[in-house]
Amino acid sequence: MSERLLVLVRHGQSEWNLKNLFTGWRDPDLTEKGVDEAKTAGQRLKALGLTFDRGFTSVLSRAEKTMNLMLDELGQQNLPVSRDAALNERHYGDLCGLNKDDARKKWGEEQVHLWRRSYDVQPPGGESLKDTVARVLPYYNQEILPAVLRGERTLVSAHGNSLRALVMVLDRLTPETIPSMELATGVPLVYRLKADSTVESKKVLDA
């Protein structure tokens, strides 16, 4: 019986995570801590004896670099990796590049909280979490899930919000519960799926 393995990893800390900026589709690099987080993620996967047949990332360098650092640790530098903007972080529109504290001063705590943590309220010029889900899920259903169900052990390196879209489906969360769910940087979520694509088991590889 082939193994239906799906591992999701949010990229390591980026320079803009560190500076508390809205990042979205902007493309800052990983910090030193982010590099260490990505390497540690690879080491934790290796410690479990996991290897992979397929990889998927967004087209943003922080996710790509996290993938490459994990594969270095796994000794799988030649793994076939598909890149697609469907896995990009949520687009924060006019908020991109702004400090979150400055945004609160400009628009108020309540409004910024609504933009960040509601399911379907869009920031000006940007995407809501609902919009991000609508972008990510078709790609998951057409590209990632079929690979997993074929028995291809699959590693995905992406972003807090694009991965929340997948976790929402896998963990059967609702529009009410998903906005409050946080994904730590560089912490692998190891899923094993049943033949009907529902979750058989989930393991969080944190410290």
Alpha-helical segments (H) within the chain: 15-18, 32-47, 61-74, 100-107, 109-117, 129-139, 145-149, 160-170
pLDDT tens for the chain, 207 residues: list them: 568 999 999 999 999 999 999 999 999 999 999 999 999 999 999 999 999 999 999 999 999 999 999 999 999 999 999 999 999 999 999 999 999 999 999 999 999 999 988 899 999 999 999 999 999 999 999 999 999 999 999 999 999 999 999 999 999 999 999 888 889 999 999 999 999 999 999 999 997
For residue 14, what pLDDT is reported?
A: 96
Look at residue 92 in the predicted model and tell me its pLDDT. 95
Helix (H, G, I), strand (E, B) or coil at 157: strand
Each domain of the chain, given as residue ranges in start order, spans: 5-204
CB 60 within 8 A of CB 6: no
State which fold the 5-204 domain adopts: Rossmann fold (3.40.50)
Q: With a threshold of 0.85, does the pTM exceed it? A: yes
Cβ neighbours of 121 (radius 10 Å): 15
CA distances from 207 to 37, 40, 41, 72, 187 (A): 11, 10, 10, 20, 9
The answer to whether 149 and 205 are in contact (CB under 8 A) is no
Report how far residue 105's alpha carbon sits from residue 117's, in angstroms, rounded to the nearest whole number: 17
Look at residue 117 in the predicted model and tell me its pLDDT.
87
Residues belonging to the active site:
11, 89
Buried-exposed string 27-62: b where 16+ CB fall within 10 A, e elsewhere = ebebbeebbebbbbbbebbeeeebebbbbbbbebbb
* Sign of the dihedral through C-alpha 95, 101, 102, 106: positive
pLDDT at 143: 98
How far is Cα 30 from Cα 32, in angstroms, rounded to an integer? 7
* Three-state SS at 76: coil
**DSSP helix, strand, coil percent of the chain (3-state; round to 5):** 45, 15, 40
